[in-house]
Amino acid sequence: MKTAEDIVIAALALATMSAVPFVSSSYIVFLLNGIMVLALCSLSFNLVYADTGYMNLGNSVPFGVGAYAFAFALSHNWSATLAVVVSILAILFFSALSGIFIVRLKGAYYAIGTLALVLFAQALAYNLGWLTGGYQGIIVNVAGGSAYSAYYILAFLNAVLLLLTAAIRKSSFGYRMRSIKGNEIVASTLGINAAVNKVIVLIIGSLFAGIAGILSTSYNGFVTSESSFGISITFLPVIMAILLGSFSIVAPLIGVTIVALASEIFVTTIPQLTDFMLGILLILAALYPKNLIVLKNSRFLKNKSGVRSASS
């Protein structure tokens, strides 16, 4: 058993993570926040994709709903607690609503349908000015040090989602979802309600993406259509999950850091080329999934549950 070793490594990681804000500048904390937001979205995409095989390209919809709802509540001088509760309710409502429709789509149509939802949300954000502030978005007064609290919450949530993914993978829920991935019709004849399972996993994933949205508003202090439904937040998490091998649990985290750092450098130095770079990354993800960074011997990248993925 390597449990003791795992605990030591986890404790070391935890200690390093919690020490960072004390020894580094606030810019680094900001940067790490951005990375962890993307990581959370990536894990949330992965939760749905790795087990059910459905590509949810619309993860930025719950992200944006969370970001906008939180900003709207704060700009109307609601208390922070109430704002969080309202935002989470909004996320759950919208992800359940879209889930009920989206669940009927199969294969490529699922991906395209969810992507169409992003464009629709974008149009709504531009057009419903009274709610979203239109093109300018909403600016929120954030308390000093909110970047630091967001940092710890994000780190915590990433850890929770990692553990949850592992737990689900071993649970009967995980087996049900993988049976859907294997063959939806056969799964249905075995008494598995594919639709319900798909909606549930979508809502769990959306909840985490949505909370990432709330937190991004809380430390950025603003929300715009671009920041919540833009190309980066829509595609970067997908690219990260797929390029780095979505069937292992820890791999996306390592990849997230590399890809997010690279994109941060791009955005700050040559912003015009951001879309270009994202497009190239998407093509690479299509041609060489989970091959870009080869760390095959690392035991962190192995699928610990021992479940063989269908594509390998």
Partner 1 sequence: MTLAPLLELLIFGILLGGIYGLSAIGLSLIFGIARVLNLAHGAFAVLAAAVSFVVIQATGLNLLFVAMLVVPLFFVAGYVYEILLIHRMLSFNRERRIEALILGTLGFGLVTESIVSIIIPRNFGVNYQFLPISFGEITVSTLRLLLLAVVAITTVILHFIVYKTWYGKALRATIDDAETAQLMGINFDRITSITFGLGTALSALGGILLLLVFNISPNMGFPITLKVLAIIILGGLGSILGSLAASIALGISETFAGFFLDTAWSNSISLVVLLVVVLIKSEGLLRR
- The site for partner 1 (CB under 8 A) is made up of 53, 55, 57, 101, 104-109, 111-113, 115-117, 119-120, 123-124, 126-127, 231, 235, 238, 242, 272-276, 278-287, 289, 310-311
Question: What is the spatial distance between Cα 106 and Cα 115, in angstroms, rounded to a whole number?
Answer: 14
Structure tokens at 92: 């759950």
What burial letters (b/e) apply to 3-32, b meaning 16+ CB within 10 Å?
Answer: eeeeeeeeeeeeeebeeebeeeeeeebbbb
Separation in Å, CA 246 to CA 186, 242, 253, 310:
24, 5, 10, 12
Of 57 and 67, nearer to partner 1 (C-beta) is 57
- Smallest distance from partner 1 to CB 29, Å: 30
Of 4 and 108, nearer to partner 1 (C-beta) is 108
Contact 202, 96 (CB under 8 A): no
* DSSP-derived pairing of the beta strands 138-139 and 222-223: antiparallel
- Smallest distance from partner 1 to CB 123, Å: 4
- Smallest distance from partner 1 to CB 66, Å: 22
Of 106 and 299, nearer to partner 1 (C-beta) is 106
Residues paired with 222 in a beta bridge: 139
Of 1 and 287, nearer to partner 1 (C-beta) is 287
- Smallest distance from partner 1 to CB 163, Å: 26
- Smallest distance from partner 1 to CB 280, Å: 6
Of 145 and 279, nearer to partner 1 (C-beta) is 279
- Smallest distance from partner 1 to CB 68, Å: 17
Of 146 and 303, nearer to partner 1 (C-beta) is 303
DSSP state of 307: P
C-alpha 76: how far from chain center: 27
Contact 72, 86 (CB under 8 A): no
Contact 243, 38 (CB under 8 A): no
